[in-house]
Structure 1
Amino acid sequence: MKGVAVKALVLADFYDLQVLEVDRPTLEPHDALVRILYTGICGSDIHGYTGENGRRRVGQIMGHETVGILEELGADVAPRGISLGSLVTINPLVVSAEDLLRYPGREQHAPSMWVLGVRADRPAAFAQYTVIPAANLVPVGELDDPRVGALIEPLAVAIHAVARALEKCCADSALIIGGGPIGQMLNIALARVGVNSRTQVEPHEARRSVCCSLGACAIDPAALERDILAGRRWPVVFDAVGASQTLESALAAADVGGTVCLVGMHSPTLTVDAYAISTQERTVVGSFVYSRMDFDAAAAYSVEQGARLVPLIDSVVSLEEAPAEFARLAADGTAAAARVLVDMTPPLDSL
C-alpha cells in the first residue's frame, strides 16, 4: 500500500548510510510482499557503500541476503504451496518468464536477469518490507533458527562454484584461499559433496578459527608458501578473494592439469601468469552467482543442516546500528570473523 511509511537503510551518499522512512513498496499483480526479518551484510554491499565496485547508486536501498515473512501476494499469483505468514527467503536473481524457459539450469546467463539489491531502482532487503516476483520466493518454514535464512544466498554461491569446479574432475581434497564468508561457505559446500580433506588459507586468526570449526585445516599464507615450496599440490583450488596475488598462489598450488576456480571479486582486473596455465595445462574456471537449482539446494541444505551454519553468524545488529556497522566493516574488512546480520524488525517499544 503506497503511502504507508516503513524504515529502510538508504545509501544517501557513498560512506553515508541513513535510516529513513520510505513508502512501503507497491505490490504488482505477479509480486509478493515480504516483511524482512534479517538481512546479511555482503562484501559487495560494503563495496557499494564505499562506491568501489560501481555497482550501487546513491539513493539506493541495498540488501540481497535475506529472510522474512510472506505478507501479501499479487492478484495474479497462482497458489503454489506457500501460505501467507510463511517464513521465506528470496532468490534475488530475477529473470523474465520467457528467459526462465530459455535458460533452464543457467538462469544467471539470461539477458533479462537483474539482481535485487544491485538494481538501483528496486528497493531491496535493507528495508522493513520489500517486493519481489512471487516466483523468487523459496519457503524455509522448517528452519529451527530463522537467521539461517539470511545465509542461504551466499551458500548458493558456494554450491554453484563447487559444482563448476568439479564438473569435469573428481577430487578428494581441495584448497580454499580466503577464509571470509564466501570461503567459509565453500568449506561447507565441499563437505556437502564429500570432499573431506580441505585446507583453507586465511591470514586472520579469528577467521582461521571459524574455518577450523567447519572441519578445514586452516593455515596462514606463509604456511601455504612453505607447502608449495615443499611440493604440495591440490587437484582443485578455489580463490575466494579474487586478487592478483591470490590467483598467483592458487595457480602455484594447483596440480599439473588441476583446476582453479575464481570465485572472489576483489578486483575487476587481475594480472595472471599465462604460462602457469598453458604449460601446466591447468584449467581456470569462473563462477558467478548461481542457478535456481543451486539456490534451492542451498535452501534445502540449510533446513536440514542449519545448526552447521549458525556459527557463521558473527553478530546481529539493529537497523539503527547498521550505519555504524557498515563504517566499521569498510574501515576493516576483517573486523568480523563471519557474516554480520541486520535485524530489520522494529524494536518492541515501537510496536
Structure 2
Amino acid sequence: MKGRATVLVGANRIETWEIDVHSPEPGGALVRTVLGGVCGSDVHIMTGEAGEMPFPIILGHEGVGEIVELGAGVSTDYAGVPVKPGDLVVWSPIALCHRCYSCTILEETPCENSRFFEDASKPNWGSYADFAWLPNSMPFYRLPDGAIPEAVAALGCALPTVLRGFDRCGPVRFGDSVVVQGAGPVGLSAVLVAAQAGAREVIVIDAAPARLEAAVKLGATATVSLGLPQDERKRMIYDRIGKQGPDIVIEAAGALPAFPEGVDISGIHSRYIILGLWGAIGTQPISPRDLTLKNLTIGGASFPAPKNYYHAMQFAARVQHEVPLAELVSHRFGISQAAEALHATKTGTATKAVIDPSIS
C-alpha cells in the first residue's frame, strides 16, 4: 500500500512523496490520519530557525487518526481503554527510550535518547501524511465517545504544552490575574486553562484581530493590540489589574522580543512561564535586578509528557460544547498544500490550520 506525505528535504524545501505504508510492528499501530495539526514549531523547523534537522523528514507532530491495524499484542490504548480498528486516537509524538535517567528516574521528557523524527523513507509517525505508523512504546489514546476531532485537533500540541508548563511552574489559582503574550494555539490554550481555573483576569496581547476575538470566546477578559507601543500595552494591563501587576505572565508569542517585555510586565511575587520560544534561537537583554526586586520566578517547559496529551484530549472533549474549540480550525489544506498551510500559520492568517488528507 502507498500513501502521500509532506517531506522536508532541506530548509524551506518541501516535497510531496509517495511512500510505502507498513504494517505495524508488535506493540504498535497503523492509523489513517484524519487531521494533522499545523504548529508554529513546524514553521521554525521548515525555515531552519529551530536548528539543523535530520533531513529528509515527514512534517507534523499533531495528529488525530483512525486505527487501521493494531500490532500483535495490542488490545488497549496507553490508558488501558480497549481499542479496535475504526477507533479515533491521538498520539504523543516523541519516541522515548524508557531506559535512561530522564525516563526512569526523573520521569521527564524528552529523554536522552528521544526520537522526534524518523527518516522519511522509513515507517513514520509524521502527521502531514495519509497514514501514521506508531512504533511500540509511542503512547496513543482513544478519543472519548462523542469527542469532535476538530475540537481535539484545534489546540494540537499547544494544550499539552500549556498543561506541562503549569505542571512544572505551578497552576493558575482561583482569582489569579494572567497575561498571555500571543494568541496562537499556545496562547489560546493558556487562555482556556486560565479561564477554566477561575482566573479573575485573563489579558491577551496579539496583533491579529481574529486571534484576539478567538481568545475572548475562550475566556479572555480583555485584549491588548501588539500594534500599540510597549509602554502603552503595559499601562493598559496595569490599569486593569492594579499596581501590583499580574500574578502570572505566559510567553506564547514565539518571538524573542516578547521575553524582555514579559519580564517588564510581570508583577511582584509573580511567575513568568516561557512556552513559545522553543524555536526562536537567540538572546535578549533583561535587567537581573528586576527579577530580585519583583521576587520573580521564571520557568520554561517544552516537549509535553504523554500524560499531558491524555489530559489535553480529555479536557478538550469535556469543554467542546461549552467553548467553540472546533471553530478555531480556520483553514484546511491537503497534503500537497502544506507550504500554503505553513505560510498561513507563519503570517497569522490562520487561527489554526490543519492538514486534511481527504482534500486532494
Partners of 2:37 and 2:118 in 1: CA distance: 11
Q: 1:111 to 1:248 in 2, by over 3 A?
A: same
Encode CA deviations 1:267-289: one digit per residue, 9 max, x unaligned: 22332321211232211011113
- Asked if 1:302 corresponds to 2:316, the answer is yes
Contact 1:161 1:288 in 2 (8 A): yes
Offset of residue 22 of structure 1 = 0.8
Encode CA deviations 1:81-114: one digit per residue, 9 max, x unaligned: 112211101111222244597157x431432333
**Structure 1 residues not aligned, in runs of 5+:** none
SS in structure 2 of the partner of residue 300 of structure 1: helix
Partners of 1:267 and 1:65 in 2: CA distance: 20
Partner of 2:245: 233
Instruction: Identify which of 200, 204, 222 aligns with 1:200.
Output: 204
Q: 1:183 to 1:241 in 2, by over 3 A?
A: same
Instruction: Identify which of 352, 355, 358 aligns with 1:339.
Output: 352
Partners of 2:121 and 2:250 in 1: CA distance: 31
Contact 1:187 1:198 in 2 (8 A): yes
**Code of the aligned partner of 1:172:** D
**Code of the aligned partner of 1:159:** L
Q: 1:167 to 1:37 in 2, by over 3 A?
A: closer
Instruction: Identify which of 14, 26, 29 aligns with 1:17.
Output: 14
**Code of the aligned partner of 1:227:** M
* Superposition pairs of residues 272-283 of structure 1, within 5 angstroms: 272-283=286-297
Contact 2:69 2:85 in 1 (8 A): yes
Contact 1:171 1:235 in 2 (8 A): no
Contact 2:173 2:199 in 1 (8 A): no
Offset of residue 78 of structure 1 = 5.2
Offset of residue 328 of structure 1 = 4.7
Partner of 2:259: 247
* Superposition pairs of residues 85-234 of structure 1, within 5 angstroms: 85-98=86-99, 102-103=104-105, 106-115=107-116, 123=124, 124-135=126-137, 136-150=139-153, 151-167=155-171, 172-216=176-220, 217-221=222-226, 222=228, 223-227=232-236, 231=243, 233-234=245-246
**Code of the aligned partner of 1:164:** R
Partners of 2:259 and 2:30 in 1: CA distance: 41
Encode CA deviations 1:145-190: one digit per residue, 9 max, x unaligned: 2223323422111122233332597752111111112111111121
- Asked if 1:314 corresponds to 2:316, the answer is no
Count of aligned positions: 340
Report the TM-score, using the length of structure 1 for normalisation: 0.87
Partners of 1:280 and 1:225 in 2: CA distance: 16
Partner of 1:40: 37
Contact 2:174 2:200 in 1 (8 A): no
**Structure 2 residues not aligned, in runs of 5+:** none
**Code of the aligned partner of 2:28:** D
Partners of 1:108 and 1:156 in 2: CA distance: 12
Offset of residue 245 of structure 1 = 2.4
Moved more, 202-211 or 70-79: 70-79
Offset of residue 194 of structure 1 = 2.3
Q: 1:282 to 1:116 in 2, by over 3 A?
A: same
Partner of 1:31: 28
Instruction: Identify which of 27, 35, 46 aligns with 1:49.
Output: 46
* Superposition pairs of residues 324-335 of structure 1, within 5 angstroms: 324-330=340-346, 333-335=347-349
RMSD, aligned α-carbons? 2.7
Report the TM-score, using the length of structure 2 for normalisation: 0.85
Partners of 2:172 and 2:315 in 1: CA distance: 24
Offset of residue 8 of structure 1 = 0.9
SS in structure 1 of the partner of residue 298 of structure 2: strand
SS in structure 2 of the partner of residue 163 of structure 1: helix
**Code of the aligned partner of 1:102:** T
Partners of 1:188 and 1:117 in 2: CA distance: 33
Contact 1:62 1:117 in 2 (8 A): no
Moved more, 54-63 or 166-175: 166-175
- Asked if 1:264 corresponds to 2:276, the answer is yes
